[in-house]
A and B are shown apart, each in its own frame.
Chain A
Amino acid sequence: MSSAELEEVDAEPDIPPEAEDEPLVELDGATVDFTVGTSFNPFADPDTVNAVNEVDLAIEEQDVLILVGESGSGKTTLGKVATALQRPTDGEVRYRGQNIWEARDGTGLIDIDFRDIRRALQIIHQDPVAALNPNRTILQTLAQPLRIRFGEDMGPGSRRERVYNVLEQVNLTPAADYGSRYPHQLSGGEKQRVVLTRALLMDPDLILADEPVSALDVSLRVEIMDLMLELQEVFGMSYIFVSHNLSNARYFAEKAGGRVGIMYLGELVEIGTPQEVIGNPKHPYTQVLKWATPSLAPDEEEKGSPPLRAIDIPDARNPPSGCRFHTRCPFAREACTEIHPELEETTTGGPEVACFRPDGNHEYWQTPLLDEEAAQIAEEKMEVNVE
């Protein structure tokens, strides 16, 4: 297949010219409530879990955003909202200015067809073993996205050629050999490459990578992250990279020149460049995460348990009042139990933080600490100031 033909098949779907200035994907007050556990009692009120709470976010072309948080922090759900895999229960999600769910439902003004949006927003999952059909060869698996995109316009021969081309780009060579294999004949790193290839073949604008390297050996992580960045150079898509590991987040964000967003119980609590957020965190939660990240420095002293007031994350069915982190935050004061901090730029510029502490004049400072001992321990351990 010649490159001219390729371009023809690859012709971009019609994007209205005024959409050029819009962010690739924009979230406006996006909220997701899940209904859970009605059990067998039809009279009981169902519980709702507030997985994502009023998040505003914009992803630009060739952007990289890393979402970091514990299990249950809503980072994957937020990523799915941004890639049209999860409908928000409240708020709006736009793709190049087009409201995604209006396009889906066929309501309102539709400039961009939902099928084009669906194609443009792709996902790769955490566990590549579960994401690949064990009964299909790699070629069969990878031909499927092309079939969806081009239907009868692309014959089996062209499909095969196209798959082999991309396999070579992700360093699975000889491509014909890899194409004929089954998933169990590949190593973990190779499977993750196949999953990445499958997303690429849809020619996406944005890929949600959900913990793409956490199932891999530590020694393979750098390699796969480098590959993802190389592919971004070639294909020009954006990434939302979900991770619970600050070291991986820093590596990917710093190399890509992207942003790191820290999530806690459904809310973004800090967002900025990795130099700001990881290098000099302002939110106590980010500070604890950074403190707890294992260090390679051989002469580092042993540190003991994390300086938190509680180990376990609170029940998302009943999130704490005020600042959601106040039940674990070592620096929490009375004010934190009542007032909800908004994500704001710090007065000195830099990252956006949802905490009162960067503002030296906030009434927070006039209220008593909830746990002076915890604050003192944390202050010593993390070398930050309580006063």
Chain B
Amino acid sequence: MSSSFTQFGEEEQPEPERDVVLTLDNVNVRFDMSRGVARPVKNVDLEVHRQEILGIAGESGSGKSMLCSTMMDAVEDPGVISGDITFHTSSGREVDVLGLDKASLRRFRWEAIAMVFQGTGSVFNPVLSIEQHFTETMQAHDAYSEERVERMHKLLEDLYLEPNRILESYPHELSGGQQQRAMIALSLILDPQVLIMDEPTSALDLLMQRSIIDLLREIQDEYEFTLIFITHDLPLIRGLCDRIAIMYAFEIVELGPTQQIMGKAYHPYTRALLNSTPNLDMPVEEMRPIPGEVPDPLNVPIGCSYHPRCPMADNRCMNEDPELAEVDDNHTAACFYTDQIDDHIPLGISAGNTGGRDR
């Protein structure tokens, strides 16, 4: 058993077409609570491609963090996951994530999928040095070896940290940016195939954010992992991600190549989100908030969950829930009226957006 897990990522195989590393099939999460039933992840179908950078964006409470916990089968009680989550090893073997026993699951996390959280302050143990964090992690996974130690040094160097100085430091001795970079190195020490990052830069300054985003692209290229990046800040990830999934009310409402999402979004929510984001490009008069609020997980509207906030909503939207449908190459959106979107919700930024009616 243990041997099969150390094989995650250590076998070379010729690449099949459109290599998929993680498949989510009709995944739901259900919480039975005294006030009612909450479904913080709803009907998610998603294929994560090997070595892509996938952005997952949405407002607070849209379910994006919960979706990522689901991918690692890390939803806390009383949450129940249903559906299928399949992890594809590089040798082509399929792993049923939800079927893993406790011991296997422990190895699966970190060795197959690792996660970096938002506040490093609460993740690092304040009484352990950075080196002890690495050592403990390696030992817990029976993976301590010369090569790993070398990898540790190389990872830190690649993240522009001086290995010797950083390793002997305690977390509080490092700046926020250094902590976050050390955390990224730690999450990659066991050579996971997928790295999930939950708002990894929102606590940092602008210039440090930009540097880390830039570093991520470099190391992703060098260490060849798949990166899933959760954020509420669309402009920040536009230069990083290959594809972006937009979440609203616990569902994916639009998924497509970054350029398309930024320049030619088809879902009214995606457009409203872009138009509400402060930026330096648009006239200030054209930036406007999205009216209304994100729905309560216990009380999600029937029909399209966005209809109470949508200027295009009609009777059909109030009764029927639109499914993700293809609107362009590799681009899906869950809305009945994608063909009318340009008339109703023009994008404030129009570079590269030809009016959208030319398809």
Q: Could you tell me which A residues sit within 8 Å of B by CB distance?
A: 70-71, 187-188, 217-223, 225-226, 244-248, 250-251, 254-255, 278, 288-290, 292-300, 302-306, 308, 311-312
Contacts A218-B233, A294-B236 given: A70-B206 contact, CB under 8 Å?
A: yes
In the bound assembly, the distance between CA atoms of A188 and B215 in angstroms comes to 31
Interface bits B53-64 vs A (CB < 8 Å: 1, else 0)? 000000110000
Identity of the chain A residue whose Cβ is nearest the Cβ of B60 in the assembled complex = A217
The reply to whether A295 and B289 form a contact with Cβ atoms under 8 Å apart is no
What's the nearest-Cβ distance from chain B to residue A340, in Å? Answer: 23
Contacts A217-B60, A219-B276 given: A304-B214 contact, CB under 8 Å?
A: yes
B210 CB within 8 Å of chain A: yes
In the bound assembly, the distance between CA atoms of A244 and B176 in angstroms comes to 15
Identity of the chain B residue whose Cβ is nearest the Cβ of A215 in the assembled complex = B202
The reply to whether B278 and A245 form a contact with Cβ atoms under 8 Å apart is yes
Contacts A298-B353, A299-B259 given: A187-B207 contact, CB under 8 Å?
A: no
The reply to whether B290 and A219 form a contact with Cβ atoms under 8 Å apart is yes
The reply to whether B280 and A293 form a contact with Cβ atoms under 8 Å apart is yes
The reply to whether A217 and B59 form a contact with Cβ atoms under 8 Å apart is yes
The reply to whether B263 and A222 form a contact with Cβ atoms under 8 Å apart is no
A-B interface contact total, Cβ < 8 Å: 133
Please indicate the chain A residues that have their CB under 8 angstroms from the CB of B15 in the complex. none
In the bound assembly, the distance between CA atoms of A358 and B235 in angstroms comes to 31
In the bound assembly, the distance between CA atoms of A251 and B279 in angstroms comes to 8
A-B contact pairs, 27 of them (CB 8 A): A70-B206, A187-B293, A218-B233, A220-B59, A221-B276, A222-B276, A226-B289, A246-B206, A246-B280, A247-B279, A250-B280, A289-B206, A292-B210, A294-B239, A295-B280, A296-B235, A297-B349, A298-B349, A298-B351, A299-B263, A299-B352, A303-B239, A305-B210, A305-B214, A305-B215, A308-B207, A311-B160
Identity of the chain B residue whose Cβ is nearest the Cβ of A304 in the assembled complex = B214
Contacts A71-B176, A222-B287, A296-B235 given: A250-B278 contact, CB under 8 Å?
A: yes
In the bound assembly, the distance between CA atoms of A225 and B287 in angstroms comes to 11
Identity of the chain B residue whose Cβ is nearest the Cβ of A290 in the assembled complex = B280
Identity of the chain B residue whose Cβ is nearest the Cβ of A223 in the assembled complex = B289
B316 CB within 8 Å of chain A: no
Please indicate the chain B residues that have their CB under 8 angstroms from the CB of A278 in the complex. 280
Contacts A218-B232, A244-B206, A311-B160 given: A298-B211 contact, CB under 8 Å?
A: no
The reply to whether B206 and A219 form a contact with Cβ atoms under 8 Å apart is no
CB < 8 Å: which of B176, B215, B264, B279 contacts A298? B264
The reply to whether A294 and B278 form a contact with Cβ atoms under 8 Å apart is no
What's the nearest-Cβ distance from chain B to residue A193, in Å? Answer: 13
Which residues in chain B, 50-83, are within 8 Å of chain A measured between CB atoms? 59-60
Interface bits B234-261 vs A (CB < 8 Å: 1, else 0)? 1110110000000000000000000100
Please indicate the chain A residues that have their CB under 8 angstroms from the CB of B208 in the complex. 70, 311
CB < 8 Å: which of B214, B263, B278, B282 contacts A221? B278
Identity of the chain B residue whose Cβ is nearest the Cβ of A213 in the assembled complex = B278
What's the nearest-Cβ distance from chain B to residue A247, in Å? Answer: 4
B43 CB within 8 Å of chain A: no
Contacts A294-B239, A308-B207 given: A247-B60 contact, CB under 8 Å?
A: no
What's the nearest-Cβ distance from chain B to residue A119, in Å? Answer: 32
In the bound assembly, the distance between CA atoms of A290 and B207 in angstroms comes to 10
The reply to whether A188 and B60 form a contact with Cβ atoms under 8 Å apart is yes
B205 CB within 8 Å of chain A: yes
CB < 8 Å: which of B206, B232, B262, B293 contacts A296? B262
Please indicate the chain B residues that have their CB under 8 angstroms from the CB of A71 in the complex. 176, 205
The reply to whether B207 and A288 form a contact with Cβ atoms under 8 Å apart is yes
The reply to whether B207 and A295 form a contact with Cβ atoms under 8 Å apart is no
In the bound assembly, the distance between CA atoms of A254 and B284 in angstroms comes to 7
The reply to whether B175 and A299 form a contact with Cβ atoms under 8 Å apart is no
